[in-house]
């Protein structure tokens, strides 16, 4: 089920811009204070997006299909 977007305000913190991530979002990602996230620039169509991720790189769909093919799980990849 797709979740509605969360509006996050950019705040001032010691002269820099900062965002506060709501507890609900941290809990859904199984994160806590002190954990690290990566800020990744991605494009959805022609729209530039900033993504917070627990991994330093987001795999492309073709990477997932190739990995499934190589491991013999092609039937699993069809449902990705």
Degrees to nearest 5, angle at CA 28 with 43 and 22: 85
HEC secondary structure over 47-59: EEEEEEECCCCCC
* Cross-strand partners of 53: 38
In the chain, the DSSP E strands lie at 10-13, 16-19, 38-44, 47-53
Ordered per-residue pLDDT tens for the chain, 80 residues: 778 888 889 999 999 999 998 898 899 889 998 999 999 998 888 889 888 888 888 777 666 666 767 776 655 555 55
Q: Does the pTM of the predicted model rise above 0.75?
A: no
């Amino acid at each position: 089920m797709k979740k509605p977007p969360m509006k996050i305000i950019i705040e001032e913190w010691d002269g820099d811009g900062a965002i506060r991530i709501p507890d609900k979002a941290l809990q859904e990602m199984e994160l806590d204070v002190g954990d690290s996230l990566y800020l990744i620039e991605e494009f959805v169509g022609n729209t530039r997006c900033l993504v917070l991720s627990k991994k330093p790189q987001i795999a492309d769909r073709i990477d997932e299909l190739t990995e499934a093919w190589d491991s013999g799980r092609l039937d699993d990849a069809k449902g990705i």
